[in-house]
Amino acid sequence: MSRSQILRENIVKESPRDDLIRKDRFPHIWCPGCSLGTVLKCYVEAIASSNIPIDKHVVVSGIGCTGRIAGYIKLDSYHVTHGRPIAFAEGMRIVRPDLEVTVISGDGDLVTIGGNHFIHAIRRNVDINVFLVNNFIYGMTGNQMGSTTPIGARSSTSPYGCPEYPFNLPLLVASLGAPFVARWTTLHVRQLADAMKRALQVKGFAFIEIITSCPVGFGSYNELREGLDFIKLFRDSCVVDHNADLTKVGITLRPGEPIVLGNFVDREVPTYHDLEKEVFKKAGWLK
Amino acid sequence: MTLKIVREPINKHIQKIPLGWIHIIPERCKECGFCIELCPKDVLIVGNERNIKGYRWPKIADGKAYDCIACKMCEWICPEFAIFVKEVERGEVV
């Protein structure tokens, strides 16, 4: 290229991360302004920077918009029934201890439909990573309110405002003894990828709540009609506090009340697999 | 909030500002505007051409071709894997 030529954007066909995504399925089905692709990007970067070989990674996802992530990533990936990805992942991790099992699914799938699997997997402390993508609503099903919809937020089944308290997920997960609990938005991409990388290293139940934009589902009912409105909301109202009091990190989305982000918990807890081995030794099945 | 520089770094004369070369895959773009909004140097603007689905993919604004500092925010935030930045030497591609 000669020195006199003006540097301009280069039109190409492939991106350097195409080795980890199923590029024949791109562009994906997610709406313009949806940040689920950013979650996929951060996960791909976390995998690429982790020292675990690619054939040891497994992704499990359930039903919903986020469940499509399993179909767009070029790993061993499973798309299972509604609410059951954690149960599926637990079984896989217990019989194949060499695998790094990750669950990426939505809030409606993991904590609303599959809430019981969720709390019991944390209590058991099985060594899986759960990346819960929170868009405050059931997206693909038709924008109904769910267990993470903030009080007063509108949806197709709560047109005058949601009357229920939402889950405070970091508090719930930390109270059940999980070793790693974090919350990031899709605007904080580098922090999110670092937290995912840390979650892949942690022994035990690693949990990251990822707050995403949902302009077509949640946003259209709540005056956040473009993806950029969510980006502005995250930029204006997010506060990073790693030592935050978890009883006060619930999301209200009211003006003036912050969304608290951070890697809240990072501790060592004996996992199910350690305790299982002790029992097996007592029973004489292991020497 | 504006960033106020308190003092000049003593090694400022040896610091090089990186130069990024933006690569775009137009078929994947969905015109969400994240890259344009989040570029710290306002390098990107909405383009004039449309891809097969009717979305206008971004292009470099006039006179901003050498302003990209390869922070790669557009690459990280793009939900479609449709934009990426290669860091190049200033004398290399010019």
Q: Establish if B82 touches chain A: CB-CB under 8 angstroms.
A: yes
* Integer Cα distance of A9 and A31 in angstroms: 25
SS3 per-residue string spanning chain A: CCCCCCCCCEECCCCCCCCCECHHHCCCCCCCCCCHHHHHHHHHHHHHHCCCCHHHEEEEECCCCHHHHHHHECCEEEECCCCCHHHHHHHHHHHCCCCEEEEEEEHHHHHHHCHHHHHHHHHHCCCCEEEEEECCCCCCCCCCCCCCCCCCCCECCECCCCCCCCCCHHHHHHHCCCCEEEEEECCCHHHHHHHHHHHHHCCCCEEEEEECCCCCCHHHHCCCCCHHHHHHHHHHHEEECCCCCHHHCCCCCCCCCCEEEEEEEECCCCCHHHHHHHHHHHHCCCC
- pLDDT of B64 over the 90 cut: no
Q: What is the CATH number of domain A23-283?
A: 3.40.50.970
Average pLDDT over residues B61-69: 87
Q: Count Cβ–Cβ pairs < 8 Å, chain A vs chain B.
A: 103
Residues of chain A contacting residue B1, judged by C-beta atoms under 8 Å apart: none
* Integer Cα distance of B14 and A123 in angstroms: 54
- Option in B25, B55, B79 nearest A38 (CB): B79
Residue A247 pLDDT: 93
Distances (CA, A) of A23 to A20, A104, A150, A220, B73: 9, 19, 36, 30, 21
Per-residue pLDDT of chain A (287 residues; tens, 9 = 90+): 444 456 777 888 888 889 999 989 988 999 999 999 999 999 999 999 999 999 999 999 999 999 999 999 999 999 999 999 999 999 999 999 999 999 999 999 999 999 999 999 999 999 999 999 999 999 888 999 999 999 999 999 999 999 999 999 999 999 999 999 999 999 999 999 999 999 999 999 999 999 999 999 999 999 999 999 999 999 999 999 999 999 999 999 888 899 999 999 999 999 999 999 999 999 998 87
Residues 6+ positions from B74 with CB-CB distance below 8 Å: B22, B34, B35, B38, B39, B44, B83, B85
* Integer Cα distance of B34 and A106 in angstroms: 22
A105-114 pLDDT per residue, tens = 999 999 999 9
* Integer Cα distance of A53 and A47 in angstroms: 9
Give, as one character, the DSSP assignment of residue B73. Answer: H
Residue A239 pLDDT: 93
- Option in A1, A31, A189 nearest B77 (CB): A189
Give, as one character, the DSSP assignment of residue B84. Answer: E
Give the nearest chain A residue to B80 (CA atoms): A37
Residues of chain B contacting residue A190, judged by C-beta atoms under 8 Å apart: 76
Give the nearest chain B residue to A26 (CA atoms): B28
Residue A3 pLDDT: 46
- Option in B28, B33, B84 nearest A27 (CB): B28
Residue type, A164: E
* Integer Cα distance of A83 and B59 in angstroms: 42
| For chain A, domain boundaries | 23-283
Asked if the B16-88 domain carries CATH number 3.30.70.20, the reply is: yes
Q: Establish if B60 touches chain A: CB-CB under 8 angstroms.
A: yes
* Predicted complex ipTM: 0.89
* Integer Cα distance of A194 and A198 in angstroms: 6
| For chain B, domain boundaries | 16-88
Residue to test with chain B: of A9, A14, A187, most B Cβ within 10 A: A9
Q: Establish if B61 touches chain A: CB-CB under 8 angstroms.
A: no
Residue to test with chain B: of A1, A13, A15, most B Cβ within 10 A: A15
Residue A2 pLDDT: 45
Residues of chain A contacting residue B65, judged by C-beta atoms under 8 Å apart: 6-8
Give the nearest chain B residue to A192 (CA atoms): B76
Bridge-partner residues for A81, per DSSP? none
Give the nearest chain B residue to A191 (CA atoms): B76
Average pLDDT over residues B64-81: 91
In order, the DSSP letters of B8-66 are --TTGGG----EEEEEE-GGG-----HHHHH-TT--EEEEEEE-TTS-EEEEEPTT-TT
Read off φ and ψ for residue B52, nearest 5 degrees: -65, -25
CB contact under 8 A, A14 and B27: no
Residues of chain B contacting residue A37, judged by C-beta atoms under 8 Å apart: 78-81
Q: Is B77 helix (H, G, I), strand (E, B) or coil?
A: helix
